[in-house]
């Protein structure tokens, strides 16, 4: 175990390898989507939200059972005792550092602010995003026309408005007027 620490650092590295890469990639995708450089399939968003919720629930369950996880495993004496001590250390590190870090990473994604839903506009399978970027006064409709082009219709009400449904109604009406003119 000491050899592992000398070569690779903490035991947490065993569990968090790649977590920061996943978080960074997810944030990059979110930024690209926000900049309208990427169209997001609403089914993929729903699936991702479901999986993240399941992951948060699993982390909470492990956290609740933390006493068991951080116990030193009674394996006997000598080398077995060392292994038992390492198991206890690893459990403490998982409970004290890794689970909170993973939970923060999931919370930081903050992806529930936007609600994407599939809609049909003319002959097109479109996506409606109610209250994009947390603003309740707006709505966006994305119509994928080709593999490389998407028409975006944005409707905004007065900034003091909280009527997202009215904004979505405007965006949808505008999209329905535009759709027949698209290839």
| Same domain for 78 and 17 | yes
| Same domain for 150 and 106 | no
| Same domain for 104 and 40 | yes
Comparing CA positions, the residue from 17, 37, 32, 42 lying closest to residue 130 is 42
| Same domain for 129 and 102 | no
Range of the domain at 134: 114-181
- The residue among 85, 112, 139 that closes a domain is 112
Query: What pLDDT was estimated at residue 31?
Result: 63
Whether residue 119 contacts residue 179, with contact meaning beta carbons closer than 8 Å, is answered with no
| Same domain for 108 and 58 | yes
- Number of separate domains in the chain: 2
Whether residue 73 contacts residue 88, with contact meaning beta carbons closer than 8 Å, is answered with yes
- The residue among 97, 112, 127 that closes a domain is 112
| Same domain for 165 and 108 | no
| Same domain for 90 and 64 | yes
Residues of the chain with pLDDT under 70: 1-49, 69-70, 73, 108-114, 133-134
- Other CB atoms within 10 Å distance of the CB of residue 5: 11
| Same domain for 66 and 94 | yes
| Same domain for 25 and 67 | yes
H or E segment and range at residue 130: strand 124-130
- The residue among 112, 128, 158 that closes a domain is 112
Query: What pLDDT was estimated at residue 62?
Result: 77
Query: What pLDDT was estimated at residue 161?
Result: 81
- Other CB atoms within 10 Å distance of the CB of residue 37: 8
Burial of 126 (0-12, 13-18, 19+ CB in 10 A): buried
| Same domain for 125 and 51 | no
Query: What pLDDT was estimated at residue 3?
Result: 46
Query: What pLDDT was estimated at residue 28?
Result: 66
| Same domain for 145 and 104 | no
Q: How many CA atoms lie within 13 A of 134 on its CB side?
A: 2
Query: What pLDDT was estimated at residue 113?
Result: 45
| Same domain for 162 and 118 | yes
Query: What pLDDT was estimated at residue 129?
Result: 86
Query: What pLDDT was estimated at residue 91?
Result: 78
Residues 6+ away with beta carbon under 8 Å from 94: 12, 15, 62, 69, 70
Whether residue 124 contacts residue 144, with contact meaning beta carbons closer than 8 Å, is answered with yes
């Amino acid at each position: 175990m000491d050899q592992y620490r000398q070569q690779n650092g903490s035991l947490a590295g065993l569990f968090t390898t790649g977590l920061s890469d996943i978080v960074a990639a997810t944030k990059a995708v979110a930024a690209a989507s926000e900049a309208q450089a990427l169209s997001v399939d609403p089914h993929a968003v729903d699936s991702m939200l479901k999986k993240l919720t399941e992951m948060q629930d699993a982390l909470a369950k492990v956290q609740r059972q933390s006493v068991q996880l951080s116990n030193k495993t009674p394996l006997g004496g000598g080398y077995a005792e060392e292994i038992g001590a390492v198991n206890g250390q690893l459990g403490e590190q998982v409970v004290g550092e890794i689970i909170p870090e993973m939970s923060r990473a999931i919370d930081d994604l903050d992806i529930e602010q936007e609600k994407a839903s599939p809609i049909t506009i003319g002959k097109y399978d479109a996506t409606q995003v109610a209250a994009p970027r947390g603003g309740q006064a707006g709505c966006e409709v994305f119509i994928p026309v080709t593999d490389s082009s998407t028409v975006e219709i944005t409707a905004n009400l007065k900034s003091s408005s909280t009527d997202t449904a009215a904004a979505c109604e405007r965006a949808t009406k505008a999209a329905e007027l535009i759709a027949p003119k698209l290839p």
